[in-house]
Structure 1
Amino acid sequence: MLRSGWRPGPAGALLGDLAAPGGVRDGVPGRLNGPLLVSVTDFTSDTYRALPGIARRGLRLRRRWPELDQAVGMWLWAVPSARRCGAVSVWTGRRGLAEFVRLPEHVVIMDEYRGRGTIRSVILEYENVDAAHIRRDAEAWLRSGGR
């Protein structure tokens, strides 16, 4: 599985220096206390041809991340050989996640690719969680086929 680096959001400032560049490459070191929502998405494309466009749009949408209210941070991921890609995003509340899903850029991506593959997602809830724990749980869900 290929993973992007951790992209902090404005709520990631709750982590202070722990989220600063130069931290752990694969995630945010340390812990954030309080309720968190983690959204894990998994898109499996019907064809390999669609993957580059999906990746470009996902990376473009990722640029908005620092502006998104209640966004703690996120990773993008891909398994090109399996025609799969998606995101793991961390939120301090449902409102922020709902606002992200309604962003015009996100709606355009979903409308364009909805008929070109299969998408599944899950929302995981945590109280006192670290980034490594989130990543392990997300990867386990992705490997399980969502069961």
Structure 2
Amino acid sequence: MTRFLRLWKDGAGAAVDGSVHVSMNDYLVRGFRDVPRVAMAGLRFRRAWPETEGALGLWFATTGDGRRQISVSVWREPADLQRFVRSPGHRRVVRDFRDAGVLLNTTWTAERFDRRLIWRQAEDRLTGRLADVPHH
């Protein structure tokens, strides 16, 4: 069974009643020499997360060898995620690491902002328990 080392960070958004939007990036770094650079970029996003508009929270996760870098972000609504994706910092990271690995992304709606529920849903996707979701 795949084990994930994960760190949670609260976002700027206040808790919401009802459904939330979840985005998961599963990035497989091609070479070990790029693992520290990719991890540092992810940790910079994590550090700034409390100021990210519409973000309710974020997991930064990895597997034992560090080549698989994962983010699971929870948003009030899809428009909040889209604003973040269009931000200069995010666009720069996408450009800088375009050739360093293979990215698989998936989004879904969680019934409520429940960290335990959402991580279980993420693990189902990351480990292949959901057949229609690509994973590394």
TM range (shorter): 0.7 to 0.9
Corresponding residue to 2:44 among 60, 64, 67: 60
Structure 1's unaligned 5+ residue stretches are 15-31
Deviations 1:42-91 (Å, cap 9, x if unpaired)?
00011111110011111112222111221110110011426110200000
Number of residue pairs aligned between Structure 1 and Structure 2: 128
Distance 2:51 2:67 in 1: 29
Task: Tell me which residue corresponds to 1:85.
Answer: 69
Match of 2:6 in 1: 3
Q: Give the whole-Å Cα distance in 1 for the aligned partners of 2:113 and 2:89.
A: 30
**Aligned partners of 1:63 and 1:82: how far apart in 2?**
19
Residue 121 of structure 2 corresponds to residue 137 of structure 1: yes
Structure 1 Cα separation of the partners of residues 80 and 104 of structure 2: 20
Report which stretch shifted further, 100-109 or 133-142: 100-109
Deviation, structure 1 residue 137:
0.8
CA distance in 2, matches of 1:100, 1:64: 12
Whole-angstrom CA distance in 2 between matches of 1:53 and 1:136: 28
Please state if 1:111 is matched with 2:101.
Answer: no
Match of 1:22 in 2: none
Any conservation in 2 of the 1:40–1:122 contact (CA below 8 Å)? yes
Q: Tell me the C-alpha RMSD between the 2 structures.
A: 1.6
TM-score (norm 1): 0.80
Gaps of 5+ in 2: none
* Alpha carbons 2:6, 2:59 under 8 Å: kept: yes
Please show how residues 8-19 of structure 1 align to structure 2 within 5 Å. Answer: 8-11=10-13, 13-14=14-15
Question: TM-score, normalising length from structure 2?
Answer: 0.86
